[in-house]
Structure 1
Amino acid sequence: MDRPRFRRSFLHPRFWPLWLGLGALWLVVQLPYRALLRLGRWLGMGMYRVASERRRVAARNLELCFPQMPPVERKRLLKENFVSTGIAFFEMAMSWWWPQARLARLAHIEGLEHLQAAQREGEGAILMALHFTTLEIGAALLGQRHTIDGMYREHRNALFDFVQRQGRERHNPDSLAVEREDVRGMIKLLRKGRAIWYAPDQDYGAKQSIFVPLFGIEAATVTATTHFARLGKARVIPFTQRRLEDGSGYRLVLHPPLQGFPGESEAADALRINQWVEQAVTECPEQYLWAHRRFKSRPVGAPKLYEKR
C-alpha cells in the first residue's frame, strides 16, 4: 500500500470541523502524561453515563465471561473498563503526535529477542495481539524498536484515514499497512521475513470461523492464524501490552513463540488461541475491549446472547 499523502481536497470546508477537533486534541495531548491519565478517567466516566448501548454490551460480556464474579465486582470492573477506554482516546493521540523520544520513555519491553531471532533466521513473525484498549500505543511503542507491519482497514473519512495512517507509520519508515482482505499480500510479507501485527480475538462471522469454547461459550473463532502461519512459514509470537498502574508507562511483552503451531487441526489451533486469549484477558480484564459483541455469531440452533438494539 502506498504511503499516505496529503490532498488539497482535505482543505474543503466539509473537513473544517474535523480539523478543528484534531487541532484541539493536539493541544490537549501536550499536557503531562499523568494529567492526560486524569483527563482520560473523566472522559471514560462520562462515556459510562451516556453510552448506554456500549455499556450494555460490555456488561453482558462480563456477565458471560465471569459468571462467578459477584455483581458488585463486575460493575466496578465495567466502570474501570470505561475509564481505560477514555484514557485510550488520549493514548491514540499521543502515539500519533508526541515526539518519539518522549513517547519512548514510556516503554518497558520484554521478550524482544523472540522477534529478533525470527528476523535473524529469516522467518516471518505473526504478532498475535488482542484488542486491548492500549493496542494503539502498544503498537507504536513496539514499532519504535522493531519494524512491524499491521493489518489495516481504510477509514470512511478520508482526512481521518490520512491522519491515522500517517501517525501510525511515522515510528518506523519501513513499516507497511496491509489491507485486511489482502491475504496474498500478507503471506508474501511473512515469507520475506516480516513481522505483522494481527489480532484473532473478534467475531468476524460464522462463515469465516469455526466454533470453539472461549470462557466456556462456543465462540466463532477465525482460522486465519493457522493459514497465515502455515502458508507464510511464520512463527506465532503472542504479544500483549498493559498500562501500568503507577503511571510509569506500559509493559509490552513478546511471549515465546507457540511451539508445534500449526497443530493437528484448525479446531485444535483455534482452541489453543482462545485459551491464550482467556489467560491474557483474565490477567488484565479492565483494559480489554469488552464493548465488542464477541459472541454475536451463534452455532445453528443456539440462542442469541445479546438483546436486540
Structure 2
Amino acid sequence: MTHIPTFNRSLLHPRYWLTWIGIGLLYLVVLLPYPLLYRLGTSLGRLSMHFLKRRVYIAKRNLELCFPTLSSAERTVLLIKNFESVGMGLIETGMGWFWPDWRVKRLFHVSGLENIDLARTHNKGVLLIGLHFLSLELGARIFGIYNPGIGVYRPNNNKLLDWLQTWGRMRSNKSMLDRADIKGMIRALKNGDIIWYAPDHDYGPKSSVFAPLFAMEQAATTSGTHVLVKLAKPAVIPFVPRRLPNGRGYELLILPDEDALPVDSDLATATHMNKVLEQAILLAPEQYMWLHRRFKTRPPGQSSLY
C-alpha cells in the first residue's frame, strides 16, 4: 500500500533548512523568462562536468556500450549535449513543480492525444511508458494537464523532497504509487486509470531478466511490465517529452499503442519493450539520463562494466 506524503511541521526542522533554501532559490530562478532559463541551464550543465567526474565517466561509458559504431568525437559531442540537458533538467524540474498551467502549455506542442482517446473509448487502462529523459518532471506535468494520471515513483529518502516531488507531480495528476505497489498498479489499470511507468532503468537482479538493449546483448530489464500487461491488459503507450533546439520550447510525442506486445514470457515482453525504448530514446538521445548506471547488474560471473 502506498503512503502519500503530506506536509507537516516536522519538515520545518533545522535539518531541512538547507533544502528549503535550495527550493526557494529554484522557485525564484524559474520566474525568469524561458530564453534566460535555457542559457542558464545549458551553461550550468556544461559547468557541472568539471565537478561530476564520476557521472561524466558513467555517461561516457554508457554511450560507448550502447553506440560502439559512433566515433569518439561523435560520442564526445553527444556527451557534452547530454550534460547541457542535465543542467536543463534541474531548471525543468522547477518549471514542472512551480509554473502555472498556462505557462507550461505555452511552451509545448502536443501530438498524439488521439492515441489516449482511442484507448479510453475501448475502456482500457493505459500503461504510459515514460522514460527517464532529463525533462521527465516537465513532461509528466504537461501530460497530466491534458490527461491526469497516476505516477509510479521511488519515495525519496529526504522527507522534504519526498513531499515536494509528490506535491509537484500531483499539481496536474491524480495520485502517486510506490513502484513496489504492484497490486495498486494492477487495480488502477483495471479501473481504467492511466499509470505513468518507467521500465528503462536497471532496478537490480530481483524481478529482472536479461534482454538486449542497443549494442548490449544482456541488459537487466524489469519483468514488472510483463506482470502488469498480462494481468491488467492495458493499452501500452510510450510518450516522449522532447526539448527543441536553441530554446524554442518543447514537444510532447504520445506514440501509438504497442498492441502487439508479447506476454508469453517475461523475456519476450522485456525484449520487445527494450526495442520500444530504443526507438523512443533515439528521438532525443542527448536528453536521456545516461548518467545512471544502466548496466550495473550483470549475469552471474561477469565483472562490472564500470
Q: TM-score, structure 2 length as denominator?
A: 0.95
Distance 1:2 1:71 in 2: 46
Q: Given that residues 226 and 261 in structure 1 are in contact (C-alpha distance below 8 angstroms), is that contact kept between their aligned partners in structure 2?
A: no
Distance 2:34 2:185 in 1: 35
| Matching residue's letter, 1:99 | P
Residue equivalent to 2:109: 108
Distance 2:90 2:272 in 1: 31
| Matching residue's letter, 1:41 | T
1:152 Cα deviation from its structure 2 partner? 1.9
Residue equivalent to 1:59: 60
1:34 Cα deviation from its structure 2 partner? 1.1
Query: Where do 5+ consecutive residues of structure 1 fail to align?
Result: none
| Alignment deviations for residues 105-152 of structure 1 (CA, whole Å, 9 cap, x no partner) | 122111111112222322111001211111110010010011111102
1:98 Cα deviation from its structure 2 partner? 1.0
Residue equivalent to 1:144: 145
Distance 1:13 1:260 in 2: 53
What aligned pairs does 1:1-309 form with structure 2 within 5 A after superposition? 1=2, 4-172=5-173, 175-217=174-216, 218-306=218-306
1:246 Cα deviation from its structure 2 partner? 4.3
| Matching residue's letter, 1:187 | I
Q: Given that residues 128 and 237 in structure 2 are in contact (C-alpha distance below 8 angstroms), is that contact kept between their aligned partners in structure 1?
A: yes
Q: TM-score, structure 1 length as denominator?
A: 0.94
Distance 1:153 1:165 in 2: 10
Cα RMSD over matched residues? 1.4
Distance 1:152 1:303 in 2: 29
Aligned residues: 304
Query: Where do 5+ consecutive residues of structure 2 fail to align?
Result: none
Of 227-236 and 115-124, more deviation after overlay is shown by 115-124
| Alignment deviations for residues 201-259 of structure 1 (CA, whole Å, 9 cap, x no partner) | 11112231111111131111112112101111211111112101142321111111112
Q: Percent identity?
A: 46
Distance 2:190 2:23 in 1: 38
| Alignment deviations for residues 4-43 of structure 1 (CA, whole Å, 9 cap, x no partner) | 4321122222222222221111111100011101110111
SS state at 1:212 partner: strand
Structure 1 runs of 4+ aligned residues shifted over 3 Å read: 1-4
SS state at 1:144 partner: helix
SS state at 1:126 partner: strand
Of 208-217 and 84-93, more deviation after overlay is shown by 208-217
